[in-house]
Amino acid sequence: MDKLKNNPLVPSFLLITIIPMLAYLPLIPFLGFYSEDLFFGYIGHFYGPEGLIRSLSIDRPFQGYLLSFIYNLLGDNVLFWHLFTFLMRLFGGYVLFFLLIKLWPNKLSVVTTITLLFLVYPGFLRQTLPLGYGAWVITLTLWILSLVFTVYAAKSRSKFKLIVLTMFALILQMVSFLQLEFFIGLETFRFLLITYIFKNEISIRAIKRTFIYWIPYILSLAIFVFWRIVVFKSARDITDISWVAQTYYQNPLWIAKIPIEIIHSFIQTVILPFFIPIIIRVPRIPLEGTLISLFIGVITAVILYLYFNTMEKSKYDEGLKNLINTKKFGKEISIIGLVSILSALIPIIISGRFVRLFDVFDRYTITSIIAVAFIITGFLFYKFSPKLRKIILISLISISVTAHTMNGYLFSVNWDQQKNIWWQLYWRAPKIENNSMMIFDFPPLIKDTPFNKIVNRVQWYRIYWVDYQIWAIGNLFFNYDALPQTHFRGDYLSGNGIIQKIKDKTFETFIDYTIPYDRDFNNTIIVTAPNDISCLWVLDKNLHEFPSHANELLKSSLVYSDADKLVQAGSPVTPPKQIFGDEPPHEWCYYFQKASLARQFKDWDQLSRLKKEVIQKNLEPQDPNEWLPFEKDLR
């Protein structure tokens, strides 16, 4: 205990390690690949690192090199990807912590609070998608490293050190811009922080002095903007500056919406993250998930309470003993945070993007994370008494940890659902014919519970929303060792124009992120995914059979589903364990799929054995229609 009192940095460092571990680590072993993860995982495996570089060349070419480098290290191992992304986020927190200690060595409580809010900020919840957004986390960490070199350069009295450190800062700054172009909005934070260093306040004189030191960064920023606008041409509209400018020219009223959108996104970035993520996740996860998340939040609160009580008498907090100076300090860093958030949001909003916590657009909070930590910490030290400030800080950080735990639980449930789909299809068909089109129908939840009513109303239960979220994961499962030219593809039954394409037996060639592939709707297989009472069903045009949840769209599509594209000839595939784990236990849905397969191939002896085994194990379905394969003899 004496050693801890003599070196308060030790408990602070332990705290900024333990709290993120509580927020992220418990559910990492149960997480998988999602959304963009699936596409980049598919490209990385089947086309190699060169494919990743080529796929991202259309809008962020340098991100392709970073992603390919990491893929060379981690391969297809799901667990490694999640651990790596967590460690990069934690390392970014360490870098920020020691940067702030350099600035405020006698304000340890402030430094620790800012670092904790940065590490567990609940507005950015894309960390659970390591292939899709791991590069974003790395970019943020690299930008903070750039800031470290800037601060050390500004404090250096040696011209040689000033030049060398500035060069390192400029290199990392440019790397950050090349990874994610909208990181240019963070440069205001660098400018204000240097201003604070030189004058220990925000003033005109300090700004003039700062400007001299900031000139290299302005030139670097100008070079990047020139390259991005004039030299490089993005193939994606949303990252093409020329397209954005043309859009504003054709719709000048959109310019008037920018201030409104900035205010809206500001609220979504600063205030709502501490409420909305939890509220919208409670109905999406099981009750035990909510209880576990709340329990971890309580543990976090206890740890924080003990920490702040211990640190109240620390010599490292001498700079906070004077109430007037503390209020002044809090006001200054809250101003830095406020201006920096607005600056960080502007490049995003001007390009037609925005922050929304209800969907995937929470990703655009990433450039505001440091600024949010500054504005919240500063405001609390400016406006609240030490006792009330401690209560609020403990509450906010505990809420943040709870939100991340709930988010992890939600994604673990999602991954279980995805694996359930493909394992059931594997039991139903050990192989899928090349060039088939897997058309998926996703039914609503059936059980009449208050949570299910909410989930169905806003369609939060959806696993997929992009076609590659079907064929990318499906081919990783079924065709892990096969060439991509022979892979099957997929889409959604309710997708725009899909029914007509099925009727017309359309053949089309797609190019997705420079990766070409064919879609042959003459080889359609319609699959309705499992819900909370039914197993997965493969429709067969030779059988007039449906799950109990079937709607008219599904029933009318029956005639187009060719179940013979599911084959059992040859050796069955072996799904990659490093992605999909072990085969789940053989319960009712396993026997339902095997019975359906046996009946399709008229293996009556196998069907008889399956029926006896089901009876012996006392298994039965929740959907009575799932008895049909066992009862209907097609001989």
Residue 130, phi then psi, degrees to nearest 5: -70, -35
pLDDT tens-digit profile of 247-280?
A: 666 777 777 788 888 999 999 999 999 999 999 8
| pLDDT confidence bin for 237, thresholds 50/70/90 | low
Which distant-in-sequence residues (6+ apart) come within 8 Å of 608 by Cβ?
none
Q: Which two tokens stand for residue 414?
A: 């999602």
CA angle (191 as vertex; 186, 194 as ends), nearest 5: 130
pLDDT tens-digit profile of 55-106?
A: 888 888 999 999 999 999 999 999 999 999 999 999 999 999 999 998 888 8
3-class SS letters over 80-145? HHHHHHHHHHHHHHHHHHHHHHHHCCCCHHHHHHHHHHHHCCCCCCHHHCHHHHHHHHHHHHHHHH
Which one-letter DSSP state was computed for residue 428? Answer: H
| pLDDT confidence bin for 517, thresholds 50/70/90 | confident
Give 366 or 459, the one with higher predicted confidence: 366
Q: Name the CA radius of gyration of the chain, rounded.
A: 28
Residue 28 host element (H or E): none
What does the mean pLDDT of the chain come to? Answer: 87
Widest CA span in the chain: 93
CA atoms within 13 A on the CB side of 104: 23
What is residue 284's predicted lDDT score, i.e. its pLDDT?
83
What is residue 205's predicted lDDT score, i.e. its pLDDT?
67
What is residue 459's predicted lDDT score, i.e. its pLDDT?
45
Q: What is the mean pLDDT of residues 233-249?
A: 66
pLDDT tens-digit profile of 311-368?
A: 776 666 666 677 778 888 899 999 999 999 999 999 888 887 888 877 666 889 999 9
What is residue 255's predicted lDDT score, i.e. its pLDDT?
75
Q: Which two tokens stand for residue 396?
A: 């906010």
Q: What is the mean pLDDT of residues 474-492?
A: 89
Give 208 or 65, the one with higher predicted confidence: 65
* pLDDT for residue 198 is more than 80: no
Helices (H) and strands (E) in the chain, counts: 25, 8
* pLDDT for residue 462 is more than 60: no
What is residue 429's predicted lDDT score, i.e. its pLDDT?
87
For residue 618, count other CB atoms closer than 10 A to its CB: 6
At 507, the amino acid letter reads F
Torsion sign (Cα): 142, 148, 154, 159? negative
Separation CA 129–CA 81 (nearest Å):
9
For residue 597, count other CB atoms closer than 10 A to its CB: 22
Q: Which two tokens stand for residue 290?
A: 């909510």
Highest mean pLDDT among 56-60, 101-105, 118-122, 505-509: 118-122
Separation CA 587–CA 427 (nearest Å):
12
Contact between residue 174 and residue 224 where contact means Cβ atoms under 8 Å apart? yes
3-class SS letters over 189-241? HHHHHHHHHHHCCCCHHHHHHHHHHHHHHHHHHHHHHHHHHHHCCCCCHHHCH
Beta pairing partners, 441: 528
Q: How many residues does the chain have?
A: 635
- Percent of the chain past pLDDT 90, that is, above it, reads 57
Separation CA 359–CA 472 (nearest Å):
22
Contact between residue 353 and residue 185 where contact means Cβ atoms under 8 Å apart? no
Which distant-in-sequence residues (6+ apart) come within 8 Å of 422 by Cβ?
473, 474, 477, 478, 575, 580
What is residue 467's predicted lDDT score, i.e. its pLDDT?
86
pLDDT tens-digit profile of 136-167?
A: 999 999 999 999 999 998 888 888 898 999 99
C-alpha dist (Å) from residue 384 to 104, 272, 330, 379, 561: 20, 20, 10, 8, 65
At 204, the amino acid letter reads I
* pLDDT for residue 458 is more than 60: no
CA 339 vs. chain centroid, Å, equals 26
Nearest CA among 461, 491, 488 for reference residue 474 = 488
CA atoms within 13 A on the CB side of 435: 10
Contact between residue 413 and residue 35 where contact means Cβ atoms under 8 Å apart? no
What is residue 213's predicted lDDT score, i.e. its pLDDT?
80
Q: DSSP letter string over 279-327?
A: HHHGGGS-HHHHHHHHHHHHHHHHHHHHHHHHHTT-GGGGGGSSHHHHH
Q: Which two tokens stand for residue 410?
A: 């939600």
| Burial of residue 448 (number of CB atoms within 10 Å: 0-12, 13-18, 19+) | exposed
What is residue 457's predicted lDDT score, i.e. its pLDDT?
46
Q: Which two tokens stand for residue 420?
A: 């359930």
* pLDDT for residue 634 is more than 60: no
CA 574 vs. chain centroid, Å, equals 28
* pLDDT for residue 460 is more than 90: no
Q: What is the mean pLDDT of residues 517-541?
A: 90
Which one-letter DSSP state was computed for residue 533? Answer: S
Q: What is the mean pLDDT of residues 570-582?
A: 85
CA angle (479 as vertex; 474, 481 as ends), nearest 5: 145
pLDDT tens-digit profile of 27-39?
A: 999 999 998 899 9
Nearest CA among 374, 375, 336, 328 for reference residue 192 = 336
Q: What is the mean pLDDT of residues 453-478?
A: 71
What is residue 197's predicted lDDT score, i.e. its pLDDT?
77
What is residue 464's predicted lDDT score, i.e. its pLDDT?
55
Separation CA 115–CA 477 (nearest Å):
40
What is residue 299's predicted lDDT score, i.e. its pLDDT?
97
At 470, the amino acid letter reads I
pLDDT tens-digit profile of 600-633?
A: 888 899 999 999 999 999 999 999 999 999 886 5
* pLDDT for residue 43 is more than 70: yes
Which one-letter DSSP state was computed for residue 531? Answer: -
Q: Buried b vs exposed e over 34-50: b needs ≥16 C-beta within 10 Å?
A: bbbbbbbbbbbbbbebe
* pLDDT for residue 401 is more than 80: yes
What is residue 4's predicted lDDT score, i.e. its pLDDT?
47
